[in-house]
Chain A
Amino acid sequence: MIALADIERRIEAIRGADAGVPATEAAAELLRLGEAVLEHWVTARGEMPTKATREGFRLLALHHQGAKGEPSFNACRETCRELVYHHNLIAATTDAAALRRNLGLAARVALHLYFFVAGKLQEAALGEFCCSSRNGQNAAWQGDATMGNDP
């Protein structure tokens, strides 16, 4: 299994227009890198990564497997779907500038999946964010609780 750090490096290389292969091949590689990220997650949970596909893509099957019993993992569901979408988009693109742009965005999506899963792997016990902490930039408003209703 490809190491997580190597996955990040390779995605960054593709993002930086240093893929060294045609865009369609790079897009397919991004899908495989996405699968590799999810394989890490599934393996860390003590399971064997599936070889099956969903809607024609192993990435989506791996996500489905990884989200079983872990609802918060669905926070990367659309990220996986976006990666598949960009893979398909690149396959249908002929304009060189559009290809570069779409490949760059596909790499961004793959990178997001990587950060999300790597973060979850790193944090065995996720901490919490208290959203009621006060606005540090603007403490003065507290003296005027009716500001929201101003005329």
Chain B
Amino acid sequence: MSERYRKVAYYPGCALEGTGHAYDRSTRAVGKKLGLDLVEVRNWNCCGAMEVKNIDPKLQTYLSSRVMSIAAQEMGMDTVMAPCNGCYHNLKKAEYDLANDAASRDVVDRLSQKAGHATYRAGSLTTIHALDWIKEALGEDGIRLRTTRPLAGLKVANYYGCMYTRPRHIFPEKDKGEGSESTAAPHFMDDILAAAGAEIVDYPLKTACCGGAHTLSDSDTSTKLVLNLLETAEECGADVIATECPTCHSGLEMHQVRAEKRFGRKTRVAMMYFTQLLGVALGIGPRRLGIHENISDALEVLRAKGLR
């Protein structure tokens, strides 16, 4: 096991305390099982999400910078791990803006002084996603070694959503060739779950939009987008769609139900966070992974495959 990322600051973000609670639960359970230390960022705040960013992007930069300031300056950490694509994206974007935009630095400095905490300095902290954390800390061989219940026979479509890799310029560590993540064709989740024994299906919509931003204002568009994702996964032969974003995950689950009510189209593919699937492979019980909290019937899929 790599020493890098053995101990990281953990920024769950708002969604993992709400709709994505099972993601938080399974992430912590996997970390504990693997001996990886997650130190939750003290007194963290919202990253600015979509709501703040659309009104005042520099305020979003400040909100994300405060999280990074606490992790780096107050807690002395060098890495912060954010499992939520929205948080991950916003922290990376703040890092980029603070390194490249003097106006953003001025606003963040002013607001940090007003709030009474140290101003975050770009380059003090590395932001990673939960996929980077597992992939780097364990590697595929490490996962194979620790897998006690291989996900044999389970066909998985990996769904990354649109914020994990976009825009490219805020992810300078990606697209660096072999071993690095790709923004055009991400594969870390594929690598991790294949190492855990799952059969990965070729899924052409792995980075397509889930309609998360439309879900309240134009629910039918969201439902159509999700239904297309679900039916495509089924056409690819998938039993499960693995997710790594709480907004995508809850959107897929909610609109799966709505698609049946609104359009009379039922799909059976289940949704599971990749940490839940990895946890099953590591021998962690379904309840500790929060699988009972999923809306789609993931437990039944596991039962059918002899994984429960």
Contacts and interface: CB of A to CB of B under 8 A. Distances in A.
A115 B246 CA distance: 22
Interface in B249-300: 250-251, 288, 290, 292-293, 295
A16 interface: no
A14 interface: no
A5 interface: no
B15 interface: yes
Contact of A74 (B167, B212, B250): B167
Nearest to A127: B217
B213 A79 contact: no
Contacts of B231: 108
Interface residues of B, number: 58
A137 interface: yes
B197 to A, nearest CB: 25
B152 interface: no
Interface string A112-145: 1001101100110111111111110110010000
Contact of A131 (B28, B228, B246, B292): B246
A128 B18 contact: no
A77 interface: yes
B46 A137 contact: no
Nearest to B211: A119
A130 to B, nearest CB: 7
Interface stretch (B47-55, B59-67, B119-127): B47-55
Given A77-B166, A135-B18, A148-B25, A115 B228 contact: yes
A12 B303 CA distance: 35
Nearest to B288: A150
B284 to A, nearest CB: 10
Nearest to B209: A75
Contacts of A130: 49, 51
A29 interface: no
B18 A108 contact: no
Contact of A129 (B20, B216, B225, B295): B216
A78 interface: yes
Contact of A112 (B15, B216, B228): B228
Interface string B178-220: 0000001100000000000000000011111101111111100
A4 interface: no
A90 B162 CA distance: 26
B86 interface: yes
B225 A135 contact: no
A111 interface: yes
Interface of A: 71-72, 74-79, 81-82, 85-86, 101, 104-105, 108-109, 111-112, 115-116, 118-119, 122-123, 125-135, 137-138, 141, 147-150
Given A79-B208, A126-B214, 16 more contacts: A74-B167, A75-B166, A78-B184, A105-B232, A108-B235, A112-B228, A116-B209, A116-B225, A119-B225, A123-B214, A123-B218, A125-B217, A129-B214, A130-B49, A135-B19, A150-B29
24 contacts: A76-B209, A78-B206, A79-B208, A79-B209, A81-B184, A82-B204, A105-B204, A105-B232, A116-B209, A119-B218, A126-B217, A127-B216, A129-B215, A131-B14, A131-B15, A131-B19, A131-B49, A131-B86, A135-B18, A135-B250, A138-B21, A138-B292, A148-B29, A149-B28
